[in-house]
Amino acid sequence: MSTPRIWTAALIVIGDEILSGRTHDKNIAQIAGWLQIQNIRLAEVRVVPDVEDAIVEAVNTLRARNDYLFTTGGIGPTHDDITVDAIAAALGVPVVEHPEARTILEEYYATKGGTNPARLRMARVPEGADLIPNRISGAPGIRHGNIYIMAGVPGITAGMLDALTGSLEGGLPLLTETIGSRAPESEVADILRTIEQAHEGCQIGSYPFFKEGRSGANFVIRSTDAAMLASCRDTLCDALGAAGWDWTPGGL
Amino acid sequence: MSTPRIWTAALIVIGDEILSGRTHDKNIAQIAGWLQIQNIRLAEVRVVPDVEDAIVEAVNTLRARNDYLFTTGGIGPTHDDITVDAIAAALGVPVVEHPEARTILEEYYATKGGTNPARLRMARVPEGADLIPNRISGAPGIRHGNIYIMAGVPGITAGMLDALTGSLEGGLPLLTETIGSRAPESEVADILRTIEQAHEGCQIGSYPFFKEGRSGANFVIRSTDAAMLASCRDTLCDALGAAGWDWTPGGL
């Protein structure tokens, strides 16, 4: 059996406000979760400042080794919004005004004081790009080849992701099973390693927690093979029980 | 006047659970905020999976071009905790047991069933490393040269950061002033750009918001020069007022 093709994506979060700690990023988790539903694996994330060279380096490295590249942030109307220019530079194409984006902005701002040069900056795209609908605030997202350029404000990003749902080709779904236990992970490390090795294509992640005054761990098994996943889950539950530990399907 | 030396740090967040969306990262914001207080600028962040090659690439790239490198995650007792091995590989040094770390673990687990091979994995360090105290859960963090290897659980990371407070050399403090306004950023984009250009060493970030049914933006001015920062702030407030917009010191 050939190994199933895994589709991967990378994400670049663009913005000084994340690196300064002023703004707590919500897009990594949002996009990670959305990609799982599209059967695309988030392979790596970079957070970079509002600096063209930093964006260009990240774009060119990550677009080459992933099926998809997403960016968030830096597509607004002000001088610190340089994402479009940086991505155009990375691609070696000029920045042009997208006629449909201009129409969208003119309609959106018709009752809000009209367009001005700053607002029309948001109609600029790397040449050859399509638009991603923005149902919330006018200015669209941008798609260029395998690059998806999204807003930084999480609620707007959510709307753009919603518009893209189902439109990206993905691979086999990555299935997961979670088993929770009050067993300290350091008491069952051998069990986890042995069972993972015995189940090809399954990965077991161990995530300890401390809550309600007790410690424990959730063991998350991931695989694209449903039968192997079920076997791995059952073997793990049996092994935990045989060692005298509790286990709870779905996690704690 | 020579440009003041800016000290930079990078952060690598290690863990499949962040990339899958299962766990929402809290360490980027936590470490970003802590570094600001140490007068060290967080220059870039990468989130990488539990894969040795990915960790090695990120470690070697980021440690070379920053004063400090922090990592979070992957230093627990289970088979998916590979951070120490990957960093040792990146550095080209063997993994050794740190005698003091072993003593710490033996004491910590004395009343918790004693040590076992999995628990003693947490005494392994890249050769030449020192320890970072962990007041919460026994297993220490690790420092090797300019690399700080921290826990993934945010509460434990917080304790390790607390232990490091004041021990890292930093540069001039990065000062900030925030001005909030109900002005849409697209109406004042020219003002922002012009004033930033007129104040050397000042950066103005524009962060729009929608709340309580109204839109607006916070303008964050950053500089290491207090006098230039104050001048930039005053000029911005005057310009906003002259254009008929409100402004609120400290932000909205």
* Rounded Cα gap, residues B222 and B232, in angstroms: 10
Measure the CA–CA gap between A130 and A143, rounded to whole angstroms.
5
CA pair distance B241, B234, nearest whole angstrom:
11
Which among B90, B75, B101, B81 has a CA at the least distance from the CA of B145? B90
Task: Test B32 with A48 for CB contact under 8 angstroms.
Answer: no
Is B196 in contact with A79 (Cβ distance < 8 A)? yes
SS3 A95: strand
At residue B144, the pLDDT reads: 98
C-alpha triplet B233, B235, B239: angle, nearest 5°? 115
Q: How close does chain B come to A120, measured CA to CA in Å?
A: 9
Which chain B residues have a beta carbon less than 8 Å from that of A203?
A: 16, 80
Amino acid at B112: K
Residue-wise pLDDT for A213-223, tens only, equals: 888 999 999 99
Q: Stretch B105-114: mean pLDDT, rounded?
A: 94
Contact indicator for B71, B14 with CB cutoff of 8 Å: yes
How many Å lie between the alpha carbon of A166 and the closest alpha carbon of chain B? 18
3-state secondary structure of B156: helix
A252 touches chain B (CB under 8 A): no
Q: Give contacts of A46 with chain B, Cβ < 8 Å.
A: 44-47
- Three-point CA angle A232, A234, A236, nearest 5°: 70
CA distance B14 to A32: 15
DSSP state of A192: H
C-alpha torsion angle, residues A145, A146, A151, A154 (rounded to 10) = 160
CB contact, 8 Å: A187 with chain B? yes
Nearest chain A residue to B62 by CA: give it. A46
**For residue B34, which residues of chain A lie inside 8 Å, CB to CB?**
21
The pLDDT value recorded for residue B1 is 45
Q: Which of A91, A72, A81 is nearest to A32 (CA)?
A: A72
Per-residue model confidence as pLDDT tens for chain A (252 residues): 455 688 999 999 999 999 999 999 999 999 999 999 899 999 999 999 999 999 999 999 999 999 999 999 999 999 999 999 999 999 999 999 999 999 999 999 999 999 999 999 999 999 999 999 998 888 999 999 999 999 999 999 999 999 999 899 888 888 999 999 999 999 999 999 999 999 999 999 999 888 778 889 999 999 989 999 999 999 999 999 999 999 999 999
Q: Are B141 and B104 in contact (CB under 8 A)?
A: no
- Give the nearest chain B residue to A8 (CA atoms): B19
Q: How far is B19 from chain A (nearest CA, A)?
A: 6
Nearest chain A Cα distance for residue B30, angstroms: 7
Instruction: Indicate the pLDDT class of residue B3, thresholds 50, 70 and 90.
Output: low
Nearest to B186 among A29, A77, A207 (CB): A77
Whether A185 and chain B come into contact, CB under 8 Å, resolves to yes
Residue B34 is classified by DSSP as H
Rg of chain B in Å (alpha carbons): 22
Q: Residue A230 class from Cβ within 10 Å (0-12 exposed, 13-18 middle, 19+ buried)? A: middle
Indicate yes or no: CB of A204 within 8 angstroms of CB of B121.
no
Q: How far apart are CA B68 and CA B142, in angstroms?
A: 13
Task: Say what the pLDDT of residue A171 is.
Answer: 83
What one-character-per-residue DSSP string does A24-87 give? ---HHHHHHHHHHHTT-EEEEEEEE-S-HHHHHHHHHHHHHSSSEEEEES--SSSTT--HHHHH
Beta pairing class for B248-249 and B175-181: antiparallel
Beta partners for residue A65, in sequence order: none
H or E element that contains B48: strand B41-48
ipTM: 0.90
Which residue of chain B is at minimal alpha-carbon distance from A80?
B205
Is A29 within 8 Å of B43 when comparing Cβ atoms? no
Q: Minimal Cα–Cα distance from B42 to chain A, Å?
A: 6
Q: What is the average pLDDT score of chain B?
A: 94
Q: Which DSSP category does A97 fall into?
A: E
Cα gap B121→A245, rounded to integer Å:
22
**Looking at residue B194, what is its pLDDT?**
96
How far does the CA of residue A5 sit from the closest CA of chain B (Å)? Answer: 18
Partner-chain contact A47 B45, CB within 8 Å: yes
Cα gap A62→A123, rounded to integer Å: 25
Whether B66 contacts A50, CB under 8 Å: no
Closest partner residue to B78 (CB to CB) among A80, A81, A206 is A206
Q: What pLDDT shows up at residue B173?
A: 84
Residues of chain A in contact with residue B21, where contact means CB-CB under 8 angstroms, are 29-36, 42
Q: Give percent of chain B with pLDDT exceeding 70.
A: 98
**For residue B149, what pLDDT is reported?**
98
Residues of A in contact with B155 (CB under 8 A): 210
Q: Is B179 on the interface with A (CB under 8 A)?
A: no
- Which fold does the domain A8-164 belong to in CATH? Molybdenum Cofactor Biosythetic Enzyme; Chain A (3.40.980)
Q: Which of B30, B38, B47 to mutate to test the interface with A (most CBs of A within 10 A)?
A: B47
Lay out the sheet containing A214-223: strands in order across: A203-211, A214-223, A175-181, A248-249
Domain A175-249 homologous superfamily, CATH = ACT domain (3.30.70.260)
Q: Are A232 and A221 in contact (CB under 8 A)?
A: yes
Give the whole-angstrom CA distance, residue A42 versus residue B3. Answer: 39
pLDDT at residue A1 in the model: 45
Least confident of A2-16, A155-169, B88-102, B238-252: A2-16
- Residues forming beta bridges with residue B14, ordered by sequence position: B48
**Contact residues, chain B, for A116 at CB < 8 Å:** 186-187
Res B52: pLDDT:
97
Q: Does A192 touch chain B (CB under 8 A)?
A: yes
Among B17, B210, B220, whose Cβ lies nearest the Cβ of A22?
A: B220
Phi, psi of B195 (to 5 degrees): -70, -40
Tell me how far apart the alpha carbons of residues B62 and B43 are, in angstroms, rounded to a whole number: 10
Phi, psi (rounded to 5 degrees) for B26:
-115, -5
Dump pLDDT digits (tens) for B122-143. 999 999 999 999 988 889 999 9
- Residue A21 has its nearest CB partner, among B13, B29, B184, at B29
As a whole number, mean pLDDT of residues B160-164 equals 95
- Domain ranges, ordered by start, for chain B: 8-164, 175-249
Is A22 near chain B, with CB under 8 Å? yes
The Cα B27–Cα B23 span in angstroms is 11
pLDDT of residue B4: 62
**Closest CB to B44 among A24, A32, A47:** A47
